[in-house]
Amino acid sequence: MTTDVRTRTKGRVDAYFGISEHGSTVKRELMAGTITFLAMSYVLAVNPRILGDGPAGDLHDKGMPIQAVFTATAVAAIFGTLVMGLWARYPVALAPGMGLNAFFAYTVVLHMGIPWQEALSGTFLSGVVFFVLAVTKVREKIIEAIPLQMKLAVGAGIGMFVAFLGLKSAGIVVSDPATLVHLGNFHHGTTLLAMFGLVVTVVFLVLGWHGAVLYGILATAVVGIACGLVKMPDSVAALPHGLDQTFGQAIVHLPHAFTGQMAIVVLTMLFVDFFDASGTLIGVAKQAGLLTESGRLDRAGQALAADSIGTAAGAIIGTSSTTAYVESTAGVSAGGRTGLTAVATAGWFLIAMFFFPLFAVFADVSAVTAPALIVVGVLMARSLGEIDWNRLEFAVPAFITVVMMPLTYSIANGIAMGLLFYPVVMVAKRRVREVHPIMWVLMAVFLSYFWFLAK
């Protein structure tokens, strides 16, 4: 009797996800989900570090409570990944995105001075607008409006910015009144620990280990504990809590989100999330062989809508924009082809929720998580190689986009400056007809941003 029930259940799961149809098995899908989790679970340590104050006070007491961010990160990952797996049925996992969390913390909260509660409202609005775009044909028009070269530049620029944050947190790069930045002091124990973490993480990555970033964090923490630079956790596991501090704040503070300053915030979040999700979904689907013969993505509307729902729900829960993770390719390389892979990943995030004391140790010491940021920045900056540097009409706005993000400590500034220059160089090149009307609108918006709102 029990065997018959299991067989029927397995058959229903197979039929719903199309496991056999895609040449996979339940066992392979579950293993792929595990590998995806290992590849992206570093977000549970890094996201609380970025959004929260931590002992270093990076956000000068403006940050979010770390335990609440940890729980919100896990819950947002679980919810978003389940929506992607069960509705869109793609082997893609979601979690608060690197770069988007840095924009939230360092540009919106720290630089613009917007309270994190209102920043969550902006994140929620960006998710709602994203959803509208995803379920309508407007998404195709938006994708066509932004030149590929600018999309590549934005991704690479965010990578440079994230890497710069990591170098700064590690103490490898420090401020200098004469030259703005300077090489850090390698006699400091935490700086040496971060260098060790960077070396081992890079080695793991080059060796092709799935979960290289997580293993690097673990190795760095162990060495830090042995050297007395990282404190031992009081316990390994605990019941998750803390959401009472963040849950619903995005809705409560929504009336404060309808300002000119927040319009730039929402637009930037939407821009980055929309194109990051689109690129990731297409990249993962291509590797998994899930694109149609014409190169299109089946159920693209559902997949993008799942991403937008994850962002809106994550904001209500209490974290920055939730997006599709490129680390999902790790699970795909292990054979994952259906939404069951995503469901399995969500299951591991559920288990991880109970290990806050362990992840808190990682978040408490910047030297432990800084190498992860640097390596993630390297991976994101790979799109630099796809930019056509031989054509100045592409190279100039792309370069300005990339370089302005770390140098102005703002993703929004980089995007705005790049989109200002693109129409200018195209006009100078007498290719004005190739500039989409939406680009002129964005140019006007960002001109207003620099004139009235930039600080």
Helix (H, G, I), strand (E, B), or coil: what is residue 449?
A: helix
Domain that holds residue 44: 14-143+186-373
pLDDT of residue 74: 97
Question: Residue 357 falls within a domain, yes or no?
Answer: yes
Residue 190 maps to a domain: yes
Rounded to 10°, the helix 212-226/189-206 angle is 150
Cβ-based neighbours of 340, under 8 Å, separated by 6 or more: 13, 17, 19, 26, 29, 30, 33, 85, 91
What per-residue confidence (pLDDT) applies to 55? Answer: 45
Comparing CA positions, the residue from 267, 284, 375 lying closest to residue 321 is 267
Contact 88, 276 (CB under 8 A): no
The two tokens of residue 359 are 């992840």
Sign of CA dihedral 134, 138, 141, 145: negative
Nearest to 80 by CA among 123, 31, 19: 123
- What stretches in the chain show pLDDT beneath 70? 1-9, 53-60, 294-295, 452-455
pTM of the model: 0.86
Within-domain flag for 303: yes
pLDDT for the residue 1: 47
pLDDT score at 2: 63
- Nearest residue to 358 via CA among 214, 233, 223, 211: 233
In order, the DSSP letters of 215-279 are: HHHHHHHHHHHHTTSSPPPS-S------GGGTTTHHHHTGGGG-SHHHHHHHHHHHHHHHHHHHH
Assigned domain for 111 exists: yes
To the nearest 10 degrees (0 to 180), the angle between helices 300-317 and 260-288 is: 130
Cα 277 versus chain centre, distance: 9
Q: Give the bridge partners for 324, in sequence order.
A: 94
Using one digit for the tens of pLDDT, what is the confidence trace for 200-213? 999 999 998 888 88
Q: Where are the alpha helices (DSSP H) in 171-231?
A: 189-206, 212-226
What is the C-alpha separation between 32 and 176, in angstroms, rounded? 46
- Per-state percent for the chain, helix, strand, coil, to nearest 5: 70, 5, 25
- 338 φψ region: left (φ > 0), alpha (ψ -120 to 50), beta (else): beta
Q: Is residue 336 part of a domain?
A: yes
pLDDT at 442: 83
Classify residue 404: in a domain, yes or no.
no
| Model pLDDT for residues 397-440, shown as the tens digit of each residue | 999 999 998 998 878 788 889 989 999 999 999 898 888 888 89
Buried b (16+ CB within 10 A) or exposed e, 44-76: bbbbbbbbbbbeeebbeebbbbbbbbbbbbbbb
| Residue 234 within a domain | yes
Tell me the two tokens of residue 263.
Answer: 């319009």
Residue 445 lies in a domain: no
Rounded to 10 deg, the angle between the 43-51 and 356-364 helix axes is 50
Domain count, the chain: 1
Indicate left, alpha or beta for 54 from its phi (over 0: left) and psi (-120 to 50: alpha).
left
